[in-house]
Chain A
Amino acid sequence: MIATAQPTSNDDQLLAERAGRGDHAAFNVIFERYKARIYRFCLLMLGDEAAAADIYQEVFIRFYRACREGQRMYNVRGYLVTVARTRCVSAIRDRKRTTSFDEDTVAGYEVDETTSDTGEHLQRALMSIAPQYREAFLLFEVEGYSYEEICAQLNVTRDVVKNRLYRAKQALQKILGPLLGGS
């Protein structure tokens, strides 16, 4: 196993400062580093490629504009995820999808075992659970955030994060049971 150096917050901060001076190369480093994460988060939160692409573009364009306007970026990853999350929450709230943001309901999605696209099943299962559970699950399982990082990102306590994560997994297990080879 080859150990690779993880980008540090200090690296990102320096790159952001250079991007603020119009250095496109520095911006591209940050962009390449986080673009997959941001787009994936937007897509799995919204379940709509077009809407995810819109927000994905807005996040990085806003980030670049903020850098050019002199705003200090002490936590680039946090900034990008915060803007993405905020926009996704707004989009979900305004679109008024199957569940409102604050309701604890699970839509009646059932796995169609005739379809072999596992990814599609997973995405639809995600869209079937409440958004607050979805985002906690995505941040933990897909993006690899720690409990503390999720607490800071969502501005909630650790117990709330644990509870949302547990409820998300319970709901997904219920939906994806047949696909996962459950009992």
Chain B
Amino acid sequence: MGINEEITALLSGDLDDEVRIAELMHVLAVSPEKRNVLREQIRMSRAFTAMGGGIVPPHAADAGILAGISAIDREMAGAMELPADSPAVPAPVAAGASWPRMLMFGAVMTVLGLGVGYLLRGDAPVRHTDAAARMERPALRDDRQQVVAGLRDSLDGARRDLADLAAEHRAALRDLAALRSASGRNAYDRNGSSIGTSSVEPRQAIADARPVPTMGTPEISPVELRRAALPVPHDPVATSRAGAVPLDGGLHTDGFAGSAAVRGPWQVGMRDHFRLSLPRVYGLSDSRSILFDKELMVGYRLGDGGESPISALQIAAAFGETQFTQVYHSGQSGRTPDLIIEQSPTVLYGRLMLASRIFETTDVTGRVEFGGGATVAGGTTLGPIGTFGLNMEYRPVDVIALHLGLSSWLLWTEHDGQVYTSTNLNGHMGIALGF
């Protein structure tokens, strides 16, 4: 920074380095030229300040302004024509309409979305799913009964086996006793020699006897005796993971077999959108850079909730309030050639969305789904909107879903025969309940 720049910075209050200030003061003290630069800048500042203080707007212009605002009042009140001598009013700017109209528009969009969802609900895929659920649920119960029956059979068989073995044991004991008796009489023959065979046979007899089974013996258990005859119980986990039709008709597909929870197709929730409007317009939009909007959403899952994205397709209607920054030009023939209009109106909106799951994971506690969606029909009082976004859904339990995601919003407005777009970049977080 040169000396002249430092002088300018000093007079502007922008030079706060004490070392530099001290050096500058030394230069000013020893250099008449630099002192003259300082004096000139001070005089110039004073001269412009004095000049500015003497500038006042002409009365004719003030009168024109007052007439203009009166014309606006009449226009707002539904006046027919403007006075001929009133100043030209700038081209009308698209802005928010009255509250009742905005509210009605949003309600209409929501009802439209719900109506479409209801109509779709009456179609075959949903009925098919319900029918499949009705057919599949008894199978679940039959399989469980079959498993229980199998276990009962196993126990009964085990009891029978135990009884048989006990009978065999008693028979073996009788044989042993008989052999002992026989060996005792025949221990010696008529010659007085021991009969070796007779001494061996009892031991062999004992060895040939079956081992006595007891409950809890590791080698043989009552259930294991009839294991080969047991029917293989139906494994719902294996079945669902193999891609076959889930036992619950597709309404519960997370592989948590045996869970009685079944997630319904409906979902109602609320989201907080933290929004950044583009472009930034200083002096018009809110001083905060990121704003929060609330949105109410009702969704319905069209598919059967299977593995494919089509099965997880969901339609939803949302209703809320947001703000878009608008910057566009308006032309006026004959006088000023251009007018730049900048505003950031708050609007109510309604939108109909389609969304689907891309992939999911159950590696964490609960289930996490990643998906994407877009608005297929949406509007505000200023014009149509379109959105596209990505969403992460976490379900600690089936009926509660926590959302987190990003989206891009686009608003189309027409002004003076030209179409303009406004963009919002949104992040959202929310909670929904399923039923």
Instruction: List residues of A whose CB falls within 8 A of some B CB.
Output: 22, 24, 27, 31, 35-36, 38-40, 43-44, 49, 53-58, 60-62, 64-66, 68-72, 74-75, 77-79, 81-83, 86-87, 90-91, 94, 118-119, 122-123, 137, 140-143, 147, 152-153, 155, 162, 165-166, 169-170, 172-173, 176-177, 180-183
Contacts and interface: CB of A to CB of B under 8 A. Distances in A.
Contact of B284 (A40, A79, A90, A118): A79
A57 B71 CA distance: 13
B41 A61 contact: no
A40 B90 contact: no
B40 interface: yes
Given A36-B55, A62-B90, A82-B282, 17 more contacts: A38-B57, A57-B87, A61-B65, A68-B72, A71-B343, A72-B346, A78-B283, A78-B284, A83-B340, A87-B339, A90-B337, A141-B45, A143-B52, A147-B12, A153-B282, A155-B280, A173-B37
B8 A166 contact: yes
Contacts of A182: 36, 40
Given A36-B55, A49-B58, A55-B336, A69 B93 contact: yes
B51 interface: yes
A61 B90 contact: yes
Contact of B287 (A38, A60, A66, A75): A75
B282 A78 contact: yes
Contact of B336 (A58, A66, A183): A58
B145 interface: no
Contacts of B36: 182-183
Interface in B251-286: 280-286
Given A54-B336, A79-B283, A24 B90 contact: no
Across the A-B interface, the 8 shortest Cβ-Cβ residue pairs: A78-B283, A39-B57, A82-B283, A61-B68, A142-B52, A90-B338, A53-B61, A40-B55
A39 B9 contact: no
Contacts of A38: 57
Contacts of A176: 40, 44, 47
Interface string B21-48: 0000000000001001101110111011
Contact of A152 (B12, B282, B286, B337): B282
Contacts, number: 173
Say which size band chain B's interface belongs to.
Answer: 35 or more
A70 B98 CA distance: 9
A147 to B, nearest CB: 7
B73 interface: yes
A31 B63 CA distance: 12
A70 B283 contact: no
Contact of A39 (B55, B69, B287, B342): B55
Contacts of A24: 69
Interface in B77-107: 87, 89-90, 93, 95-96
B337 A94 contact: yes
A71 B284 CA distance: 9
Contact of A147 (B14, B33, B95): B14
Contacts of A64: 68-69, 72
Nearest to B96: A70
